[in-house]
Structure 1
Amino acid sequence: MRARVTLAAVAALAVLAAAGCSGDSSPLPGRPSASAAPAPTGAAPVDDSCRPRASLKPAGALPAPGRMPAGSYMAEIFKRGRLVLGTSQDTLLFSSRNPFTGKVEGFDVDMGRQIAAAIFGDPNKIQIKVIGYDKRVSSAMDGSVDVVADTMTANCARWKDVNFSTIYYDAGQKVLVSSTSTAKSIDDLGGKKVCAAKGSTSYDNIAKRPAKPIAVDRPGFGDCLVAFQQNEVDAISTDDTILVGLAAQDPYAKVVGTAFTEEPYGMAMSKKHPEFTRFVNAVLAENRANGTWKSTYERWLGDFGAAPRPPVAEYRD
């Protein structure tokens, strides 16, 4: 117990991976959420009214950096002199603040840098704006950021408010338990307390499991880690990407089971600029083909195995 309390103090200071990855289910002001959980014992309806993986088809070959089409949103970004990326600062390996340099870095940040490179010819022409995970949709909508890359699941409810890029990473929800636990999956945790971030779809999904684990919320997944280390909850459940970061902070924890949800990550952008979504998709298509996606994976996630094939692009027009 003493070891766990010590680790809890470290986690409270670092709070890495605190932002929810499978996303916020909190409604926008004035709009009910299709995925909001009515209560821990209920199951939120899933909005499957669209093809969430399918995005806008690229308009053609990418223009040369510095030569953005006149009147396009890319030309506006170029004139401003920087791309504004919305992301978190505490999602280890995807977008977390390096304690030595103070810079936010990771897989998601590199996705943003690749867009900046396509516009400017320079990946450093980027401003990183740290946003709350429950502000990702509204930040893309109101134009306070150009693009959100923040372990954000593309789903039909969100497509109503923002455009998503094609899928750049496939994640899935798993469970983290004590290294001494005999549980092999979340379905072995019936009646046990399983933590997820308040308002996250991870929280919603726990309540849907037939074994009836008890969903417990905390403000963020870093708070869940502290609760786990203080023996207030038995497990944590969210996307495998977040759990890897949490497990890296606690030698007495392990991630178990196969994914029981699909969490396709897309970058979110305002619906006001569909040409920008098409441009981003052209960048992603080029980077899948030329090996940039693979090298980005190997840089940040290579310790966990060989790079898989990047998600296949799907288009809706």
Structure 2
Amino acid sequence: MTAILSRSHPAHRARRTLTVLAVVAAATLTGCTSGAYTETTLPTASPSPSSAAAPAAPAAPVECADPLASYAPDGPPAGPDALPAGSTMAEIRDRGRLIVGVSADSMLLGARNPVSGELEGFDIDMARLVAAAIFGDADRVELRVITAAQRIGSLQDGTVDLVARNMTITCARWQDIAFSAEYYRSGQKVLVPLGSDATSLADLGGRRVCAPAGSTSLTKLEEFTDIEAVPAATHTDCLVRFQQGEVDAITGDDTVLAGLAAQDPYATVVGEAFTAEPYGLGMNADDVDLVRFVNAVLDQAKADGTWAASYDRWLSAALGPAPAPPASVYGR
């Protein structure tokens, strides 16, 4: 007779941890060529115990009329042969590939298919839309795996042209980079063990809650002084710590937590969303022409059903039927 192990049984916990560690290893392969596109990984540094314990410096107040307001398109996206000479888009076309920072371990958004080895998901689809508009070929994209904490820096130093990695549009981030119009509206929730009585962060006083370094999810934890915030490199790292008993819960966007729960039958996402997390595609602040172009691409996808088809493929099973695409707001 096969013994049934409880969640707390050491052998059971080890088996589940090894499974997720395999996912982490698959998500951090470097220098791969997958399908017709190129894939690389930026080096990461996990937070040290000392840095995790240090209190975060308070953010300076930011004046911002409307963080969702982006740069209006100049018209429908120009085809590959009609891109303005000297534009950012023409430079990318002449280089031969669009370079995009993405996640490799956010199931449904940006994660590695265990069979094909290719990165796929809703965010990946958004990146491929831009590549298709610039080249006439969605495969002309180099996907560079980055952590949440690397998103802004990789845009500022030109490592990537675009970030498509469930990035919340905020006033503070507009000071460092530029955003497209909103392409998805998420909300922050919590992931807890099955049977937990917690339904929100307010119920997790005295417990350890994990979120990725550099994320708005980690910033939200600063509002709860009785919670021990535990930063990690990625949400998958949070899941490993959760399964090893090092943290009691994980907080993040509902899209990301839905992917984590799909990997752990002993975890569940609970409660109503307690934040609004409008996602935008990130770009260098100087590349205003690229922002306008990307907005034209997104507007077209929202209008012709491409956006809804991508949502149905990746998110509808976990999050329900496709809502209306978020309206684009312009005026910057």
Match of 1:3 in 2: 12
d(CA) in 1 for partners of 2:206 and 2:258?
A: 24
* Residues 91 and 242 in structure 1, CA contact (< 8 A), matched pair in contact too: yes
d(CA) in 1 for partners of 2:83 and 2:232?
A: 44
CA 1:311 to 1:38, structure 2 compared with 1: closer, same or farther past 3 Å?
farther
Match of 1:312 in 2: 327
CA 1:113 to 1:8, structure 2 compared with 1: closer, same or farther past 3 Å?
same
Work out whether 1:99 is the aligned partner of 2:108: no
The count of aligned residue pairs is 299
Letter in 2 for 1:6: R
- CA deviation string 1:66-98 (max 9, x = no partner): 321222111111212221111121111111122
SS in 2 for 1:15: helix
Match of 1:80 in 2: 95
- CA deviation string 1:136-166 (max 9, x = no partner): 1121122221111111111112111211000
CA 1:216 to 1:132, structure 2 compared with 1: closer, same or farther past 3 Å?
closer
1:119-158 map, 5 Å: 119-158=134-173
2:231 aligns with one of 213, 217, 220:
217
Work out whether 1:264 is the aligned partner of 2:278: yes
1:13-92 map, 5 Å: 13-15=22-24, 39=55, 47-92=62-107
Gaps of 5+ in 2: 1-7, 29-52
CA RMSD of aligned residues (A): 2.4
d(CA) in 1 for partners of 2:54 and 2:64?
A: 20
1:128 Cα deviation (Å)? 1.2
d(CA) in 2 for partners of 1:13 and 1:38?
A: 30
d(CA) in 2 for partners of 1:219 and 1:9?
A: 18
Match of 1:12 in 2: 21
Work out whether 1:292 is the aligned partner of 2:306: yes
1:45 Cα deviation (Å)? 6.0
1:16 Cα deviation (Å)? 8.9
* Residues 38 and 44 in structure 1, CA contact (< 8 A), matched pair in contact too: no
* Residues 173 and 238 in structure 1, CA contact (< 8 A), matched pair in contact too: yes
**Which contiguous aligned blocks of 4+ residues in structure 1 show a shift greater than 4 angstroms?**
16-19, 42-46
1:112 Cα deviation (Å)? 0.8
Match of 1:25 in 2: none
d(CA) in 2 for partners of 1:218 and 1:271?
A: 27
d(CA) in 2 for partners of 1:228 and 1:138?
A: 28
* Residues 17 and 92 in structure 1, CA contact (< 8 A), matched pair in contact too: no
d(CA) in 2 for partners of 1:46 and 1:12?
A: 39
Gaps of 5+ in 1: 20-36
Match of 2:245 in 1: 231
- CA deviation string 1:211-230 (max 9, x = no partner): x3332233332222122112
Give me the identity figure in percent.
49
* Residues 196 and 216 in structure 1, CA contact (< 8 A), matched pair in contact too: yes
d(CA) in 1 for partners of 2:189 and 2:58?
A: 18
1:251 Cα deviation (Å)? 0.2
Match of 2:5 in 1: none
Match of 1:249 in 2: 263
Work out whether 1:301 is the aligned partner of 2:310: no
* Residues 167 and 313 in structure 1, CA contact (< 8 A), matched pair in contact too: yes
Match of 1:282 in 2: 296
1:200 aligns with one of 189, 198, 215:
215
Match of 1:29 in 2: none
d(CA) in 2 for partners of 1:49 and 1:63?
A: 31
CA 1:155 to 1:38, structure 2 compared with 1: closer, same or farther past 3 Å?
farther
Letter in 2 for 1:15: V
1:171 aligns with one of 186, 201, 206:
186
CA 1:147 to 1:198, structure 2 compared with 1: closer, same or farther past 3 Å?
closer
TM-score after normalising by structure 2: 0.83
